[in-house]
């Protein structure tokens, strides 16, 4: 899988051969970390609100993913 971050942030292209492992590690971190930054539009959110927001956000991104 190729994730091209250059279009938005100007960073270089990043390749993940084992993307599922990176995703699982990120999900595990969410369960371990209790501190979140304030949302730039909505301000301070509870952990539950952040989780709901993050899940909905991910759902929209994942709706574009189709098996090859």
The pair of structure tokens assigned to 9 is 């942030």
pLDDT of residue 27: 82
Q: How far from the centroid of its chain's Cα atoms is residue 59's Cα?
A: 10
pLDDT of residue 54: 87
CB hemisphere CA count around 48 (13 angstroms): 0
pLDDT of residue 5: 53
Question: Which DSSP symbol is given to 11?
Answer: P
Per-residue pLDDT of the chain (68 residues), as tens digits, is: 445 555 555 555 556 667 788 788 888 887 787 888 898 998 999 988 988 998 899 888 888 776 66
pLDDT of residue 43: 92
Residue 40 — φ and ψ, nearest 5°? -65, -25
pLDDT of residue 7: 56
């Amino acid at each position: 899988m190729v994730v091209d971050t250059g279009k938005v942030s100007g960073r270089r292209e990043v390749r993940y051969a084992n993307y599922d492992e990176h995703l699982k590690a990120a999900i595990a971190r969410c369960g371990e970390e209790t501190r979140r930054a304030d949302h730039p539009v909505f301000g301070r959110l509870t952990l539950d609100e952040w989780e709901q927001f993050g899940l909905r956000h991910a759902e929209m991104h994942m709706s574009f993913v189709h098996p090859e």
